Chains A and B, each alone.
Chain A
């Protein structure tokens, strides 16, 4: 059974046209993350929510926003996509942020964004 679901799997948008990617989870986890992964690179954390608390990485561009209306759903909004934003976007969840106890992150299948 799918635990972290991302829709759509592929998204095509136009340069400058706002786009929203969605993520849902059935794990009832407190934390949801968004990563950007460009071709042949490691995933890069954009931001995460701990419950309703939003935590932005320092180098995440303002063009990227996120919403978490409830525990199960989290959205990634790209206000004005540029060609450089074409990438795989990965959503992940974890029960908490207990780094020292090895909190596992569970990843969704990703949404591949193409910007024309």
Chain B
């Protein structure tokens, strides 16, 4: 069985400080992992994805994530937050289970203070 847990429902940072959004997954198979961002009343935009290549994945807008198999984690980071980063972030796992399955995390809302 597959699952994904976003450890924080809300994260608040000050502009210019680092961002850390935590995601842990469970999968019987080698999963593909994604981070999506959703701004209010908008669709989901892909930030980055891991597909069993390099464990450190760089995405758009300065975001990156590191796949750590030993910790079953795929945390999203950014060195310096910008006001425009305030949004909802979803960690998603898709597994090669022989059937179709996409699992969304519950989401983490990021607040950025001026």
Contacts and interface: CB of A to CB of B under 8 A. Distances in A.
Given A99-B32, A99-B97, A104-B49, A90 B102 contact: no
Interface in B29-69: 29-30, 32, 34, 36, 41-46, 49-52
Interface stretch (A12-20, A39-47, A61-69, A73-81): A39-47
A33 to B, nearest CB: 8
A100 B29 contact: yes
Contacts of B46: 104-106
Contact of B41 (A41, A105, A112): A112
Contacts of B102: 45, 105
Nearest to B53: A102
Contact of B43 (A41, A44, A48, A107): A107
Contacts, number: 63
Given A45-B102, A48-B100, A90 B43 contact: yes
A74 to B, nearest CB: 15
Contacts of A103: 32, 94
B51 A101 contact: yes
Interface of A: 4, 6, 40-45, 48, 55, 88, 90, 92, 97, 99-110, 112
